[in-house]
C-alpha cells in the first residue's frame, strides 16, 4: 500500500488481531464448566480465523486513512482494539471466517491454508475416538456448521457494538454481504457436479455475488461510512470493489487448476473433481471438440484424467480467455479509480491493490 507505511499498517492489523483475540478469549471463558469439546470448538474457530491475507481490514483502512488525509507514519500508536474502524474490520474477518467455514462443509474440504480447518480438526478427533470415516466426516462437518453460525452471529454483534454514527449503515452493509454471499454460494452449488455448464455471464454473476461483494465492495463501503465520505464516493467504491473482486475470484479459479498447492494451501484438483462451473469450463464447453473432452470430467471418484483436462484448458484457449477477463475487470477498476475525484492517497492505494489482487500465486 502507498498511503500506509509498513509499520502503520502493521499496527492497525495488530489491533484487529487483538480485537479478534479478545472475542475468542471471551467465548472460551464462557465455555468454562462445560465439557471440554465446547471450549475446543472456540480454539478451532480461532485457529481458522488466524492468518490469511487480511484483505478486508486492509481495504477498510485504506479508505479511512485516505479520507483522513494522513498515513500511518505519525509517531506513536494510533489504533486500539476498541476503535470502531478496528472493530468493524474484525467483524468483516469474522464474517469471512463464518462463510469459508460453511463453504468448506459444502465443498467437503478439510484443509485450509495448508492445515486442518474446523471440519478437519473435528473429523480427526472423531477418527481418533474410533469412529469410521463416514461418521467422522459427519461429525467434523457438524462442528464446522456450528462454529460458522457462531462466527456469523458474532460479526453482527461486533458491528452493533461499535457505537459509530454510521452503525445502521454498517449493519445494512453486513446484510448486503451475507445476502449476496448466500446467493452466490447457492448458485455455485446449483452450477456444480454436472455438465450443463452455464454461459459466461451467469458464471461472472456467481463470482460477483460469492466473493466480490463481501470481500471487496463491502469493506470499501464500510471504510467510506466510517470516514463520512459522500454517498457518490460510496457508490463509486462499490463499483470499484466489485470489479476488483470479480478479477480476484477469476484468479482464484485459475489457481484452483493451475496453481501450486504449496503456495495456495489448497488442492489443484478440487474444482475439477467437483465439476465447478468456473469461467474456465464455461469457455471450454463452448468449443467445437468439447463433446469428446467432457467425459473426462465424470468418472468414478472424480475426473478420469486431470492432466488431460488441464492440457485441454490450455490448448483450447480457455486459460488465456480467463486471463484476459481478469485483465479487463482489473482495467475497468483502474480506469474508475484514476479518473475519479477520490482522495489522491486513496487512488494510489487502490491502484496498488488492483495489481496485488491479480498478480498473485495464492
CATH number for 346 = 1.10.600.10
Return the C-alpha cell found at 10: 502493521
Q: Worst-scoring range by mean pLDDT, 22-26, 245-249, 260-264, 324-328? A: 260-264
pLDDT at residue 3 in the model:
46
* Separation between Cα atoms, residue 234 and residue 338, nearest integer Å: 16
Same domain flag for 329 and 195: yes
Same domain flag for 133 and 170: no
Same domain flag for 159 and 191: no
Same domain flag for 238 and 135: no
Same domain flag for 184 and 64: no
Q: How crowded is the C-beta side of 271, counted as CA atoms within 13 Å?
A: 20
Four-residue CA torsion sign, 51, 52, 58, 59: negative
Q: Average pLDDT of 171-180?
A: 98
User: What average pLDDT does the chain have?
Assistant: 92
**b/e per residue, 51-66, with b = 16+ CB within 10 A?**
eeebbbbbbbbbbbbb
Q: Which residues, other chains included, contact 169 with Cβ-Cβ below 8 Å and sequence gap of 6+?
A: 225
Same domain flag for 357 and 286: yes
pLDDT(193) > 90: no
Q: Which residues, other chains included, contact 112 with Cβ-Cβ below 8 Å and sequence gap of 6+?
A: 48, 100, 104, 120, 265, 266
* Separation between Cα atoms, residue 98 and residue 41, nearest integer Å: 13
Distance of alpha carbon 183 from its chain centroid, rounded?
Answer: 15
Same domain flag for 241 and 311: yes
In the block, residue with C-alpha cell 462454529: 147
pLDDT(270) > 90: no
pLDDT(296) > 90: no
Query: For residue 301, what are the CA distances in angstroms to 221, 274, 290, 315, 318?
Result: 43, 10, 21, 25, 25
β-strands 111-112, 115-116 pairing: antiparallel
DSSP 8-state class, residue 162: S
| Residue that wins the pLDDT comparison between 78 and 225 | 225
* Separation between Cα atoms, residue 298 and residue 237, nearest integer Å: 41
Same domain flag for 107 and 172: no
Which structural domain range is residue 9 located in?
1-164
Q: pTM for the whole thing? A: 0.93
Same domain flag for 148 and 177: no
Q: Average pLDDT of 288-312?
A: 83
DSSP 8-state class, residue 295: G
Q: Which residues, other chains included, contact 285 with Cβ-Cβ below 8 Å and sequence gap of 6+?
A: 195, 197, 294
End-to-end Cα, the chain, rounded Å = 18
Which of 119, 149, 164 corresponds to the end of one domain?
164
Return the C-alpha cell found at 227: 470516514
pLDDT at residue 162 in the model:
93
Same domain flag for 333 and 306: yes
pLDDT at residue 169 in the model:
98
> How many structural domains does the chain have?
2
Q: Report residue 115: phi and psi, to 5°.
A: -140, 160
Same domain flag for 148 and 193: no
Q: Give the residue from 256, 245, 243, 273 showing the smallest Cα distance to 319.
A: 256
pLDDT at residue 1 in the model:
42
Amino acid at each position: 500500500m502507498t498511503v500506509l507505511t509498513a509499520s502503520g499498517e502493521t499496527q492497525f492489523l495488530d489491533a484487529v488481531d487483538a480485537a479478534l483475540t479478545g472475542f475468542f478469549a471471551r467465548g472460551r471463558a464462557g465455555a468454562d464448566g462445560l465439557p471440554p469439546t465446547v471450549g475446543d470448538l472456540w480454539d478451532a474457530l480461532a485457529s481458522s480465523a488466524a492468518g490469511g491475507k487480511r484483505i478486508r481490514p486492509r481495504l477498510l483502512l485504506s479508505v479511512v486513512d485516505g479520507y483522513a488525509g494522513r498515513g500511518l507514519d505519525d509517531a506513536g500508536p494510533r489504533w486500539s482494539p476498541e476503535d470502531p474502524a478496528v472493530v468493524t474490520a474484525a467483524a468483516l474477518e469474522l464474517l469471512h471466517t463464518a462463510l469459508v467455514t460453511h463453504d468448506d462443509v459444502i465443498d467437503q474440504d478439510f484443509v485450509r491454508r495448508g492445515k486442518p480447518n474446523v471440519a478437519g480438526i473435528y473429523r480427526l478427533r472423531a477418527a481418533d475416538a474410533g469412529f469410521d470415516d463416514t461418521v467422522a466426516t459427519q461429525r467434523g462437518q457438524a462442528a464446522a456448521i456450528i462454529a460458522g453460525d457462531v462466527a456469523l452471529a458474532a460479526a453482527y454483534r461486533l458491528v452493533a457494538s461499535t457505537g459509530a454514527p454510521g452503525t445502521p449503515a454498517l449493519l445494512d452493509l453486513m446484510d448486503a454481504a451475507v445476502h449476496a454471499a448466500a446467493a452466490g454460494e447457492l448458485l455455485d452449488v446449483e452450477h456444480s457436479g454436472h455438465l450443463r455448464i452455464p454461459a459466461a455471464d451467469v458464471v461472472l454473476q456467481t463470482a460477483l455475488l460469492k466473493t466480490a461483494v463481501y470481500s471487496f465492495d463491502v469493506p470499501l463501503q464500510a471504510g467510506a461510512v466510517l470516514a463520512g465520505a459522500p454517498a457518490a464516493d460510496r457508490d463509486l467504491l462499490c463499483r470499484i470493489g466489485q470489479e476488483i473482486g470479480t478479477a480476484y475470484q477469476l484468479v482464484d479459479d485459475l489457481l484452483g487448476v493451475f496453481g501450486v498447492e504449496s503456495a495456495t494451501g489448497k488442492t489443484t484438483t478440487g474444482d475439477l473433481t467437483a465439476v465447478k462451473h468456473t469461467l474456465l469450463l464455461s469457455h471450454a464447453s463452448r468449443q467445437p471438440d468439447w463433446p469428446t473432452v467432457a467425459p473426462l470430467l465424470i468418472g468414478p471418484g472424480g475426473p478420469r484424467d486431470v492432466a488431460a483436462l488441464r492440457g485441454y484448458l490450455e490448448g483450447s484457449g480457455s486459460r488465456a480467455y480467463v486471463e484476459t477477463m481478469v485483465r479487463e475487470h482489473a482495467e475497468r477498476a483502474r480506469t474508475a479509480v484514476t479518473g475519479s475525484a477520490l482522495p489522491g492517497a486513496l487512488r494510489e492505494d487502490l491502484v496498488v491493490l488492483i495489481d496485488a489482487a491479480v498478480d498473485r500465486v495464492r
